[in-house]
Amino acid sequence: MSLVSIIYPIIIIAYLLIGAAIVFHMLYYRINRRVATVMFFIYLVGSIFLLISNFSFFGAVDWQQIFSNISF
């Protein structure tokens, strides 16, 4: 198991936790209910798109080849 395979889930979990905190603050401290709802859905769709594209790009990289040329 490579170091990238260990660190990547930690980064994704941190991303999800930060996203949950942002959503909580957008919905809890709203000034205008309609604007907060629209911004919530924009943020949610954008976050899902970024997460899916991140998964696909991560899977497309050949990590073994990248780290085979590095000598420690």
pLDDT in tens, 8-26: 999 999 999 999 999 888 8
68 domain-assigned: no
pLDDT band (50, 70, 90) for residue 54: very high
CA distances from 4 to 17, 37, 58, 65 (A): 20, 36, 10, 13
- Please state, rounded to an integer, the average pLDDT across all residues of the chain: 87
Q: Is residue 2 scored above 80 in pLDDT?
A: no
Structure confidence at residue 70 (pLDDT): 74
57 domain-assigned: yes
Structure confidence at residue 14 (pLDDT): 95
Structure confidence at residue 62 (pLDDT): 85
* Angle at CA of residue 55, ends 28 and 12, nearest 5°: 45
What range does the domain containing 50 cover? 3-61
2 in helix, strand or coil?
coil
30 domain-assigned: yes
